[in-house]
Structure 1
Amino acid sequence: MTENSKERLAERRGQETQVYQPAEDSALLAKAVCKAVRQSDRVHEIGTGSGWVAAQIAAETGASVTASDINPHACRAAADRGVQSIRADMFGPFVDNAFDAVLFNPPYLPTDPDEEWDDWMEHALSGGPDGRRLVVPFLTGLSRVLSASGSGYLLISSLTGYEAVESIAAENGLTVESIHEQSFPFETLFVLKLTRYS
């Protein structure tokens, strides 16, 4: 193994400890979105983490898929999977009506502020005191970047507060439909389809 190869392997191992890796929630979101997306769609994943979900959607649907994450290590990990990714915070750099589908697996677990630590994995896991720290800005900004017939796909937990999320979506002109769910011992995960009111 060359010195460059060793350095690259060490860098990749370091990224894995700072990037959210695929789990049950990732598979649930990928499965639901793959069923909904068409080959002609412009798809974007916010908070891509390792890029696994975006790569699955691109491979299974043939759609044009891009991704973003605020974490630079995540952007590199996604690029290593062949996903076109940019470093961005939520919707900041995107033009109006840019996407036919936007998906997000946010940090959704309620987290006591006293139990938080300041690193990239904390950003990937902590949903704030109510689990909606990043859910609210997603619901607030989603309509702007969706095409006229576009949809958003949001993964949440029963611990996030389904009815509260539904209410916030409605306040922002979005209808909510649960299109996939899976129960676990301490929570149920939902994939929500979000569309503008007609």
Structure 2
Amino acid sequence: MALPGTYRVQHDSLLLAEHVRRHAAGRSVLDVCTGTGFLALTARQAGATDVVAVDLAHRSVLSARLNSVLSRSALTVRRGDLFAPVIDRRFDLVVCNPPYVPSPTDVLPRHRAARCWDGGTSGRLVLDRVCAGAAQVLAGDGRLLLVHSTVTGVEATLERLDRHGMHGEVVARRTVPFGPVMTQRGAWLHERGLLDPQEQEETLVVVEGRRRRREEDR
């Protein structure tokens, strides 16, 4: 279930879930920007040993806790800003479906549904913070899995991960029809040069990040 104002499962969630299922078994998992807890529950049901879900929104935290109970899948759900509630822990797998849709302002909404998708004028305000902070909570051989649209810039994600000691690569792409938000902002995104005038689809990517080995830094 998803309380009003909570991000509902869409194409990006489903694409990322495919990869979560491949890597969660026997691992400790952190799901940041959890929303309804869908990815956290996916990991748990795929055999993860321990799953922590984090979100800043009260409604998302409540939704994730309710879904944990309804599905009889044990989750630890914490409210907080990205990695802050778990900065003293290390996880084998970190997953994230962050807000990444470019928005007219860099002042992100706090109490409206748009907080689930608005990523600032670049679409990267939250995404860049995830790339910068993930290594702090990853175990030595752990991996990060995150999803976003190519509208937000794939190379920028890989460069940001590299800057923070991680090797990133695109492990999946999928082209899907625009959802309501992208449809509504299509003209504005075209004016900014982020979309072609007739575009009605976007390409989603799953990016995997791994810690660089020391010899790779030499």
TM-score normalised by L of structure 1: 0.86
In the TM superposition, what are the counterparts of 1:14-163 in structure 2 within 5 Å? 16-39=3-26, 41-82=27-68, 83-113=75-105, 119-163=111-155
Structure 2 unaligned residues grouped into runs of 5+? 69-74, 177-199, 214-218
Return the letter of the residue paired with 1:77. Answer: S
8 A contact 1:96–1:146 mirrored in 2: no
Matched positions, count: 184
Shift of 1:117: 5.5
TM-score normalised by L of structure 2: 0.78
In 1, the alpha carbon distance for the partners of 2:110 and 2:25 equals: 39
Residue 92 to residue 116, structure 1, CA distance change in 2 (3 Å): closer
Structure 1 unaligned residues grouped into runs of 5+? 1-11
Corresponding position of 1:186: 201
RMSD (CA atoms): 2.0
Residue 112 to residue 37, structure 1, CA distance change in 2 (3 Å): same
In the TM superposition, what are the counterparts of 1:7-18 in structure 2 within 5 Å? 16-18=3-5
Shift of 1:97: 5.0
User: What is the SS of the residue equivalent to 1:101?
Assistant: strand
8 A contact 1:101–1:153 mirrored in 2: yes
Structure 1 residue ranges, 4+ long, deviating more than 4 angstroms after superposition:
114-118
Shift of 1:182: 0.7
Q: Deviations over 1:97-124 (max 9, x none)?
A: 5211111100111111299765241211
